[in-house]
Amino acid sequence: MPRKPNYDRDDLIARARDLFWRRGWAGTSLKDLESELKMKPGSFYAAFGSKDALFELALQKYASDGAARLNALAEEFGPLSALQRLPEMVIDNDQAPARACMLSKTLLELQSHAHPLAKKADEKLQLMEAQFAQLFMRAQEIGDVAQDRDPKSLARKYQSDLLGLRVSAERDGVDAKSIAADIAEGLARL
């Protein structure tokens, strides 16, 4: 009986994610979204409810796609090698809307307003850190990382390094590749 929507919901979320990722939360207006998604206000609100609700869907997609990509990398190259390859990958992707991490951008923008989306971003950063820890643990099990290292500490520092790299890569004239290489090299000495 009902009429079907004439759009691909997941594709809309991906496009919204790219817009939010690049421009941030306050920097992305509904006009921007309507223009990018080719939706009138009525359709937009029928489909997503609010700007914040769509932002949350975008965050979720960002996080789960990222986690899947890292898992695939670990599957192909092994845990430590995946962690070594990741830094250069994240700053080398020319299709990405920004070098910086969408989660950290969201956290920095909205944390001070106690905005629920800041908490969501924080939670996803925590999940990401747990994934790193898992990979360090597996690397340790197969002897790629010394036994006296703590996977959780390594994950915490690794994520911090990655966030710093991705902020630096947002700047002009910074040789981010050599920072990425430094991070990868550090992992080789574990």
Q: Which does 156 bind (CB under 5 to 8 A by kind): a copy of itself, DNA, none?
A: a copy of itself
Q: What is the dihedral of CA 160, 184, 170, 61, to 10 degrees?
A: -70
Q: Please give the biggest Cα pair distance in the chain.
A: 64
CB of 20 to DNA, least distance (A): 11
Site for a copy of itself in 97-156 (CB under 8 A): 97-98, 100, 104-105, 107-109, 111-113, 122, 125-126, 153, 156
The alpha-helical segments, DSSP class H, found in the chain are: 9-23, 30-37, 41-48, 51-77, 79-92, 102-110, 116-141, 151-168, 176-188
Is 160:91 a contact under the CB 8 Å cutoff?
A: no
61, 161, 184, 190: which one contacts a copy of itself (CB under 8 A)?
A: 161
Site for a copy of itself in 22-51 (CB under 8 A): 22-24, 26-27
Phi, psi dihedrals of residue 125, rounded to the nearest 5°: -65, -35
Count of residues in the chain? 190
28 binds DNA (CB under 7 A): yes
State which residue, 44 or 136, has the beta carbon closest to DNA: 44
Give the binding range for DNA (CB under 7 A) out of 28-36, 64-72, 114-122, 143-151: 28-36
Q: Which residues contribute to the site for DNA (CB under 7 A)? A: 1-7, 28-31, 39-47, 50-52
